[in-house]
Amino acid sequence: MIRSKGEHALFGKSTQAMKAQWKVPDSRPLADFAPTIILKAKDFAAEITIFNAKQNRLTSEGAISSEHVTNNEAVRKTLLERGIRPESLPAAEDVKKVERRLASEEKKSLKNPDALDN
């Protein structure tokens, strides 16, 4: 719930709307298709929320959600000031596809280690 509110503040639209835009299957997290800058932005906002929640002893879902939304809005503002519009970025390559490709490449390199020398 908190994460979803934060994403809405960061993108200016709902998580479902971003999933539709990036063609993310309903069963998969939006983060699996997010560009690195978005992952870092979300992580930064979350860390600020964690820090401030501890510092200010926030315990209710409402207080933590409000803090998280404020932090995502601040991160969004920073991105916009730097010419980066989060909701306009293209999706990154599916992280599962990347994992499969890396595993496949690792298997190939282990089967033919001499190929690495060339």
Average of per-residue pLDDT values in the chain: 92
Q: How far apart are CA 39 and CA 66, in angstroms?
A: 20
This model's pTM is above 0.85? no
Q: What is the mean pLDDT of residues 12-19?
A: 95
Domain count, the chain: 1
Q: What pLDDT band is residue 111 in, cutting at 50, 70 and 90?
A: confident
Q: What pLDDT band is residue 105 in, cutting at 50, 70 and 90?
A: confident
- The per-residue pLDDT for range 30-65, each reduced to its tens digit, is 999 999 999 999 999 999 999 999 999 999 999 999
Domain range for 25: 2-93
CB atoms within 10 A of CB 56: 11
3-state secondary structure of 15: helix
